[in-house]
Amino acid sequence: MKVFIYPPNSMILQDLVERFGHKPLALAKEIERRVNDPELDSPPMNITEIDVKVGLKYAAIEVPSGVRGRLAMFGPLIDEAEAAIIVNNFPSTFGCMACARTNEITIYLIKQKKVPTLELEYPTNDEEVEDFIARIKNFLEGLK
């Protein structure tokens, strides 16, 4: 199944989803595709003016361009999602969206999809880490 992960650039979540036989809908793949596209020339993310307008599908024109640019990347991934894992209260080393407003709308859009979703708090000690991994494992194994 296609599993959207949040934060979408978390390498740990991406790895876990792959290990349990699913396809992670993650930012790294999307960025790789853009960076390797020789037709695009807007480093570092290769977001173009047209992309930011694509973001209008998810957020109105009054919304800052940085939010719409992010949504132009995450939105189509959310559209594809068949399941999702959301981690809350994570430090920036775990994954970083940089923009709080994008965080809010992204989580809302995932929840609106009504796909099987696992919502977790970021672990802060060894015991919580074990529980964190176990819950993700159970969730992913239960997806059909």
Partner 1 sequence: MIKIAQLSCGNDYSGIQNEIEKAAETVGAKIVFPDVDIDFDEAVEEFGFNPVSPGLKLMIARAKALADKSFEADAVLIATCFRCAEGALIRNELRRYLQRHTRLPVVMYSFTENTKASVLLTRMEALVTIVKRKDLLGRERQVGITMGLDSGSATTKAVIMQDNKIVGKYWSPTTTVLESAEKVVAEALKEAKMDLKDIESVGTTGYGRYILGQHYKAKLVQEELTVNSKGAVFLADKQKGEATILDIGGMDNKAITVMDGIPDSFTMGGICAGASGRFLETTAKRLGVEIFELGEMAARGDLHKVPMNSYCTVFGIQGLVSALAEGYTKDDVAAAACRSVAEQIYQQQLQEIDVRFPVIQVGGTSLLKGLVKAVGDILKTEPLVPQNSQFIGAVGGALLCSGFI
Question: Which stretches of the chain bind partner 1, using CB under 8 A?
Answer: 41-45, 47-49, 51-53, 62-70, 73, 91-93, 96-101
CB-facing half-sphere around the CA of 27: CA atoms within 13 A: 19
Closer by beta carbon to partner 1, 99 or else 118: 99
Distance CA 96, CA 98 (A): 5
Determine how β-strand 2-6 pairs with β-strand 83-88.
Answer: parallel
| Three-class DSSP category at 16 | helix
Name which of 92 and 127 has its Cβ closer to partner 1.
92
* Shortest distance in whole angstroms from residue 19 CB to partner 1: 26
Paired with 4 in beta bridges are: 25, 84
CB of 143 to partner 1, least distance (A): 30
Report the residue number, 38 or 43, with the smaller CB distance to partner 1. 43
Look up residue 87 and give its DSSP letter: E
Give all strands of the β-sheet with 117-121 in edge-to-edge order: 23-25, 2-6, 83-88, 117-121
Query: Least CB distance from residue 39 to partner 1, whole Å?
Result: 14
Task: Give least dist CB 14 to partner 1, A.
Answer: 19
Q: Which is nearer to partner 1, 3 or 73 (CB)?
A: 73
